[in-house]
Amino acid sequence: MEPRRLNKFISDSGYCSRREADKLIEQGRVTVNGKQPEVGTKVTTRDKVRVDGNLLEVDAVEPVYLLLNKPPGIETTTDTSQKDNIISFTNYPERIFPVGRLDKDSEGLIILTNNGDIVNKILRAGNNHEKEYIVTVDKPINQNFVERMSNGVPILGVNTRKCFVEQLGATKFRIILTQGMNRQIRRMCEALGYEVQTLQRTRIMHLSLAKIPLGQWRNMTDAEVAEMMRLVERSSKTAEEPSVKKASSGVAPSKPKSSKPRSSSSTSRPGKQSSSPRSGKSTAASKPGKSKSSGSARGARGAAKSGSSAGRGRTSSGKGGRRR
């Protein structure tokens, strides 16, 4: 096998993302053949790579892709020493990590995987991957609010990208973003004099929250994985959201595709937004005799291979309480 960078090797093993791997290397917790590696070290499967003394095996790891309906009160962190962390809550038998973040006070869809390449490709802001949210605020909104939100709001020293915003009720709206600045929606609302009361992420790209109960997760179907691979095929592998300094370089942000959402019913018809013939429903039926009850703390291994069209979805509840 051709040499690969050490952080990618660690990510490919399913231990953590590349960014977290870099931190482990900097902290001196990684060894290669018993020695501390240098920056930029490349390794192969013949090398003995250990993290905290534990040997990593890359080729033996099967890809895992989960969809979790995260409840409020759960921290999107892989630090299992931190209370209410998402890893302990999910209680999956294999090592996985979340794709991006969702505020502790927010709820909704989040992807968990052991594929570090997917993490980088989905998070990269320049790839314009859509994320959809349903938000309620503390006082009535109007058309002026919708227009100002959709045209971009100045936060963190930069104007947010133009986006799709639709009013759903007196204090409720739907918003589709293609960037992921820190607490972006909450900061946008605050800039306009509103405070977010509830925030739910209902969709990431073609993946929908539909039929996943709060606090439970399921494996992605083979069709969903295949469509995800197609969507990120040409995605850059570089880091996620650029820094504020870079974003404020004076170049006006381009208008994303999200200004015209794929479907006005994207939250109720998951998997239908894409034109790919391999995309399917986001909720797969469990195989007879192998389904687990909502009280189960573990689910079957989510090895969803893009060459197959059969779904393997299951649901399982996590541990932990709901709080705001």
Rounded CA separation 178/131 (Å):
6
Task: Give the three-state DSSP class for 288.
Answer: coil
pLDDT of residue 115: 85
| CATH code of the domain covering residue 86 | 3.30.70.580
Residue 39: closest CA among 48, 30, 50, 52: 30
Same-domain pairing of 42 and 104: no
Instruction: Kindly tell me if the per-residue pLDDT of 81 is higher than 60.
Output: yes
Q: Is 103 a catalytic residue?
A: yes
Same-domain pairing of 138 and 187: yes
Task: Give the three-state DSSP class for 301.
Answer: coil
Residue 97 lies in a domain: yes
Rounded to an integer, the average pLDDT of 144-163 is 95
pLDDT in tens, 229-282: 888 876 554 444 433 333 333 333 334 444 444 433 333 333 333 333 323 233
Same-domain pairing of 31 and 178: no
Q: How many domains does the chain have?
A: 3
Residue 139 lies in a domain: yes
Same-domain pairing of 33 and 169: no
Distance from chain centroid for Cα 76: 10
Same-domain pairing of 22 and 158: no
Same-domain pairing of 189 and 75: no
Domain membership of residue 77 as a residue range: 65-124+212-233
Residue 94 lies in a domain: yes
pLDDT of residue 236: 52
Among 22, 47, 84, 103, the one annotated catalytic:
103
| CATH code of the domain covering residue 31 | 3.10.290.10
Rounded CA separation 194/26 (Å):
41
